[in-house]
Amino acid sequence: MLRFFIFIAIILALDIYAFQAFRFMVKGRWGTILYFLITVFIIGGMVYQFSTGGRRNMSVLTQFFIVSFVILIVCKLVIIATMFGEDIFRFFKSAFANLPAGRQERNSDSFYFPSRRKFVSQLALGLASIPFASILYGVIVGRYNFKVLKYTLTFDDLPEAFDGYKITQISDIHSGSFDNKEKVDYAIDLINEQASDAILFTGDMVNNLASEMEPWKESFGRLKAKDGKFSVLGNHDYGDYVDWESAEAKVENLDNLKTIQKDMGFNLLLNEHRFIEKDGQRLAIVGVENWGAGGFKKAGDLNKAITGLNKDDFRILMSHDPSHWEFEVKDHPDHFHLTLSGHTHGMQFGIEIPGWFKWSPVKWRYKYWAGIYEDSRQYINVNRGFGYLAFPGRVGIWPEITVIELKKGGATA
């Protein structure tokens, strides 16, 4: 509770500071009151929604307050940064002006501190309009702005029968957040258009409850691949973020989700593997339960999942959290040619110029957070996610459908 009040105090202090940029716009006492009432309304709405189950049920009202809160914080941080820059300038200007030389120059012994300049306030508001517009675009358009990202990975020891084999990876559906069937169906058709040999889903089908997937069973049941659809569980699939009335209810929820996945044609791998065979050769699809660093569930058992595999089997590992690859997989005595993960969503916020630049604040939490990485001839692809969670939008980090083609010999393209 103390942390909560400290947090509110910090927000209000920042709001008072940011108010300096609005002074030239606000006329009279009621304008000032309205400015602060907006902040109180947004923070109060957030607190109320989440204290009454908002995290579990992402209603339209809950999403409204989340978006409003993000806009409030991001835009005012931009304003504060701009105003603070001017305050540093004002401080040094004042320090010089109050030295003997400065007093002599301005012919006055009185203390001098320069006032704020109106154009700086206008600049601050102008700069804040950029994230404001970006966030609105991310909510209205970005969350369903599906992108197909294609990679070709080359392996010397890929069985010849699988030269040119295509895999489509999707991750982090978070079906409890969806509100537009037409857009989701468009993405399903987009996946099927890739005509991949196999579809691999790397966890977080729901936000919390198996029932969230019920309205979308028909849509995702339409996914087709010649060699099948494979899936693993993500941290949200276990229902760990719900206050269940009983342990039995939580178990039943997970069992229901497993049944739903089966009904949609997914082969759910729970620390186990399957073989895909072609012309007398094979590759192994290995799937582990969630294993995540930093307090996330560690149900994944890699050694159990590979029991029965030969050392020279070509392996594609499905593991929801990329920290598993960092801490257990890439330094494992056995070789895992390709690992497919998700989980990070790219934080649903960042800047990307394909092939040139990639940044998101999530990089401070996850070393491997989006795209292809390589270590010791082992690759991982961290999918940016199909859906969205909490914040109902994406800014710069778009929902992703990954298509990976496996090639034998040569360099990676």
**Separation CA 196–CA 167 (nearest Å):** 5
Q: CB-hemisphere CA count at 13 Å for 334?
A: 23
Q: CB-hemisphere CA count at 13 Å for 150?
A: 9
SS3 320: coil
**Separation CA 203–CA 220 (nearest Å):** 14
Domains and CATH numbers, the chain: 2-140 (no CATH), 146-408 (3.60.21.10)
- Over the stretch 70-87, which tens digit does the pLDDT of each residue have? 999 899 999 999 988 988
- Over the stretch 147-173, which tens digit does the pLDDT of each residue have? 999 999 999 999 999 999 999 999 999
For residue 116, the model assigns a pLDDT of 78
Residue among 362, 353, 409, 405 at smallest CA distance from 385:
362
pTM: 0.89
Q: What angle (nearest 5°) sits at the alpha carbon of residue 135, between those of residues 59 and 320?
A: 65
**Separation CA 321–CA 325 (nearest Å):** 8
For residue 413, the model assigns a pLDDT of 44
Residue among 240, 265, 264 at smallest CA distance from 251:
240
For residue 53, the model assigns a pLDDT of 63
pLDDT-flagged residues of the chain (< 70): 1, 24, 26-27, 53-58, 106, 410-413
Which tokens sit at 318?
A: 């499905």
